[in-house]
Amino acid sequence: MIEAARGLIRERGLNATAISDVLERSGAPKGSVYFHFPGGKSQLAVEAAALHAHEQVRMIDELAAESSSAPDLISRYVDAGRDGMLASGYSRGCGLAPLVTEGAHDSEEIAETSARGFAEMVDRVTFHFVAFGIDRASARSLADAMIAGVEGALITARALHSTSPWDSIKASLLAYARATR
């Protein structure tokens, strides 16, 4: 159910994801919702976003293990975002962004979940950039730019049905990585 909620939030946002849609997609029995998620939809959204951030961190670790430098990791992460978007036919965005644009204004818990998710991703990228030999302050700024850049491409490339924002963000981040080396 958490996986189904995550997919629906990425496709249509937070408010348009009804519990009934989550049940339909996951095939879970109706009675199970308030047993597993006593907090209802809001709890499900929080757990779906936490899962999304966790998967992103896991992917960052995997890509870092295959990379030999910060530019290498940047290229692989941006390309993974672009490929995922193409595979979905431009129908799927970030699993955290809808919590920021729709949920943060009236739920402290939802606001905190998205903040924690992005912070975890930036921290992990920073960690890998430092391991590749970049000083900590530059590594953090490059990581901040990478996560924000990918987040932006998830919006504009999806809107434009074009891969060019992905390519442009990658070129921009690679120029920044070279300048901070």
Taking Cα atoms as reference points, which of 50, 9, 2, 48 lies closest to residue 23? 2
Distance of CA 50 to the CA centre of its chain: 10
Among 45, 102, 125, 128, binds its own copies (CB under 8 A): 102
Q: Measured from the CB of residue 158, what is the shortest distance to its own copies in angstroms? A: 5
Q: Measured from the CB of residue 152, what is the shortest distance to its own copies in angstroms? A: 3
The pairs formed by 133-137 with CB atoms below 8 angstroms and a separation of 24 or more are: 134/70, 134/180, 134/181
Among 45, 46, 125, 142, binds its own copies (CB under 8 A): 142
Residue 22 found at the interface with its own copies (CB under 8 A): no
Taking Cα atoms as reference points, which of 95, 84, 86 lies closest to residue 118? 95
Site string for its own copies, 153-172 (x = CB under 8 A): xxxxxxxxx--xx-xxx-xx
DSSP state of 15: T
The footprint of its own copies on this chain (CB under 8 A) covers a number of residues equal to: 59
Residue located via tokens 């000083």: 135
Where does this chain touch its own copies (CB under 8 A) — which range of 22-30, 36-44, 57-65, 115-123? 115-123
Residue 73 found at the interface with its own copies (CB under 8 A): no
Taking Cα atoms as reference points, which of 68, 79, 70 lies closest to residue 178? 70
Residue 16 found at the interface with its own copies (CB under 8 A): yes
The SS3 assignment for 62 reads helix
Q: Measured from the CB of residue 164, what is the shortest distance to its own copies in angstroms? A: 5
Helices (H) and strands (E) in the chain, counts: 9, 0
- CA distance linking residue 156 with residue 148, whole number of Å: 12
Residue 65 found at the interface with its own copies (CB under 8 A): no
Contact positions toward its own copies, by CB under 8 A?
11-16, 91, 93-94, 96-102, 104-106, 111, 114-115, 117-119, 122, 140-142, 144-145, 147-161, 164-165, 167-169, 171-173, 175-176, 178-180
